[in-house]
C-alpha cells in the first residue's frame, strides 16, 4: 500500500534507490531494519523482495500518512468489508485527522515511518488482508462472500458472474507491486523463497510480515535479540503472510496470521508462508480449472487478471 501510494503521488519511481545500512535516523530517533547489517541499495522490486524496513521508512516519509491511508482504504483495509457472517470488526488505518480527534494530538513524522511498515496504530483483520490481495490481483473492488453453509450453496444462480467495479488505481503500479510479491517467493533471496510452490503452473506470489508485540530495548539492539525460546509466548511477535495463486493468472488468495508465531527475523516467512503454500497448493490441485497459460506479471499491467 505504501508503494502504491508513493507511485501514484509521483514521489518515487520503480528505480528510486534507498540505501539501507540497517537503521534509519529521524531527528533524535533511530528506526531499525529487521536485518541488522542492512540490505544496501534497494529499489522498489528489491525493497518488496527483501522486506526492507529502511526502504519503506523513506518511502513512507516521502508520501505521508494521509495518502497511505487513502490508498489502504481503497483496498479494504481499516474498515468492514461486509462479509455475511456476524462479528466483523473494522480495524483502523490512522490519519492526521483521526489522531487529532481520537488522541487530541498532532500526528508525528516518526509515526508515519512506523505505519509505513504496518506498525503504529494500524489494525487490520485477516479477512481485510485477503480482500486486499484479491483487489490487487484483479484490479477490481472485490467483496468477500460466504458461498456454502452446511454444504448448501447460498448464492443465487449467476451470482458468480457479478462484475465488481474497477479499482481506481493504476494497473501499471499494481503490476509493479505484484512483480515484487512474485520475487518474494519465486526469486532466490526473497524472504519466502523456502516456502515456494514448486509444482509447475501452481506457483504463488506473496508478502511476509511480522507484527511487533513488544518494545525492543536498546540493550537488545546492541547485544542481540533474545532467542525465540527465551521470549515468553505472549511477548512473541505475530507472523503474517498474504498470497495469491497461480502467479500466471490468480484465482485464489490466502492470508494467514499466526498469533505469537513470529521470530526475531522473518516470522511471516518461516511460520505463516508455509501454511499459505499448503492451502493454495491443495486448492489448485482440487480445482480442474487450475491449468492456465504461463502469463507472468508484466510492467504494463496488462497481465493482471481482470475477473
Q: How many domains does the chain have?
A: 2
- The tens place of each residue's pLDDT in the chain, 307 residues long, gives 999 999 999 999 999 999 999 999 999 999 999 898 999 999 999 999 999 999 999 999 999 999 999 999 999 999 999 988 889 999 999 999 999 999 999 999 999 999 999 988 999 999 999 999 999 999 999 999 887 766 666 665 555 566 899 999 999 999 999 999 999 999 999 999 999 999 999 999 999 988 777 666 555 555 565 566 666 667 777 889 999 999 989 999 999 999 887 664 455 678 899 999 999 999 999 886 655 444 444 444 444 443 3
pLDDT the model gives residue 85: 85
pLDDT the model gives residue 148: 72
With a CB cutoff of 8 Å and minimum separation 6, the contacts of 265 are 34, 35
DSSP character string of the chain: -HHHHHHHHTS--TT--EEESSEEEETTEEEE-SSTT--EEE-HHHHHHTT-HHHHHHHHHHH-HHHHHHHHHHTTTTS----SSTT----B---HHHHHHHHSS---HHHHHHHTTT-TT-B--HHHHHHHHHHHHHSB-------EETTEE-SPTTGGG--PPBPSS-HHHHHHHHHHHHHHHHSTTSTTGGG---STT---EEEEEEE--SPPPHHHHHH-PPPGGGS-GGGSPEEEEEEEE-TTS--EEEEEEETT---SS-HIIIIIHHHHHHHHHHHHHH-TT---------TTSTTS---
With a CB cutoff of 8 Å and minimum separation 6, the contacts of 64 are 112
CB distance 136 to 178 below 8 Å? yes
Same domain, 118 and 202: no
92 lies in some domain: yes
CB distance 145 to 171 below 8 Å? no
Strand partners, 205: 244
Same domain, 8 and 120: yes
Cell of 233: 509466548
d(CA 181, CA 177): 6
pLDDT the model gives residue 157: 57
Same domain, 94 and 188: no
Same domain, 121 and 185: no
Same domain, 101 and 216: no
Same domain, 120 and 186: no
Q: How far is CA 278 from CA 157, 238, 271, in A?
A: 31, 19, 12
301 lies in some domain: yes
**By residue range, what is the domain housing residue 188?**
170-307
Same domain, 14 and 118: yes
pLDDT the model gives residue 171: 96
Q: Cα angle at 282 between 278 and 288, to 5 degrees?
A: 155
With a CB cutoff of 8 Å and minimum separation 6, the contacts of 15 are 43, 44
pLDDT the model gives residue 297: 47
d(CA 225, CA 128): 31
* Strand 23-26 with 18-20, pairing: unpaired
d(CA 42, CA 47): 5
Same domain, 118 and 181: no
CA distance from start to end of the chain = 21
Q: How far is CA 129 from CA 21, 97, 207, 242, in A?
A: 30, 24, 11, 7
Residue 7, exposed/middle/buried by CB under 10 A (0-12, 13-18, 19+)?
Answer: buried
- Domain CATH for 39: 3.40.710.10
24 lies in some domain: yes
pLDDT the model gives residue 293: 43
pLDDT the model gives residue 269: 77
34 lies in some domain: yes
Cell of 31: 528506526
213 lies in some domain: yes
Same domain, 106 and 210: no
- Domain CATH for 190: 3.30.450
Amino acid at each position: 500500500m505504501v508503494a502504491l501510494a508513493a507511485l501514484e503521488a509521483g514521489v518515487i519511481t520503480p528505480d528510486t534507490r534507498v540505501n539501507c545500512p540497517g537503521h534509519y535516523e529521524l531527528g533524535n530517533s533511530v528506526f531499525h531494519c529487521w536485518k541488522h547489517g542492512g540490505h544496501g541499495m534497494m529499489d522498489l522490486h528489491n525493497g518488496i523482495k527483501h522486506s526492507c524496513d529502511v526502504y519503506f521508512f523513506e518511502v513512507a516519509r516521502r508520501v505521508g500518512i494521509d495518502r497511505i491511508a487513502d490508498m489502504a482504504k481503497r483496498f479494504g483495509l481499516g474498515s468492514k468489508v461486509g462479509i455475511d457472517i456476524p462479528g466483523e470488526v473494522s480495524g483502523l488505518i490512522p490519519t492526521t485527522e483521526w489522531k487529532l480527534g481520537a488522541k487530541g494530538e498532532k500526528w508525528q513524522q516518526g509515526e508515519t515511518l512506523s505505519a509505513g511498515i504496518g506498525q503504529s496504530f494500524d489494525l487490520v483483520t485477516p479477512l481485510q488482508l485477503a480482500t486486499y490481495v484479491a483487489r490487487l490481483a484483479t484490479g477490481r473492488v472485490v467483496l468477500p462472500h460466504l458461498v456454502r453453509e452446511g454444504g448448501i450453496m447460498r448464492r443465487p444462480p449467476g451470482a458468480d458472474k457479478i462484475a465488481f467495479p474497477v479499482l481506481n488505481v493504476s494497473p501499471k503500479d499494481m503490476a509493479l507491486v505484484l512483480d515484487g510479491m512474485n520475487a518474494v517467493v519465486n526469486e532466490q533471496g526473497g524472504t519466502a523463497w523456502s516456502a515456494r510452490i514448486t509444482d509447475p503452473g501452481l506457483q504463488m506470489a506473496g508478502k511476509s510480515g511480522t507484527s511487533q508485540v513488544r518494545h525492543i530495548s536498546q540493550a537488545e539492539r546492541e547485544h542481540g535479540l533474545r532467542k525465540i525460546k527465551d521470549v515468553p509466548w505472549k511477548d512473541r511477535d505475530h507472523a503474517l503472510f498474504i498470497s495469491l495463486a497461480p502467479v500466471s493468472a490468480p484465482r485464489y488468495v490466502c492470508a494467514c496470521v499466526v498469533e505469537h508465531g513470529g521470530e526475531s527475523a522473518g516470522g511471516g516467512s518461516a511460520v505463516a508462508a508455509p501454511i499459505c503454500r499448503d492451502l493454495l497448493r491443495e486448492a489448485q490441485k482440487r480445482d480442474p480449472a487450475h491449468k492456465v497459460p504461463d502469463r507472468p506479471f508484466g510492467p504494463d499491467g496488462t497481465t493482471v487478471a481482470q475477473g
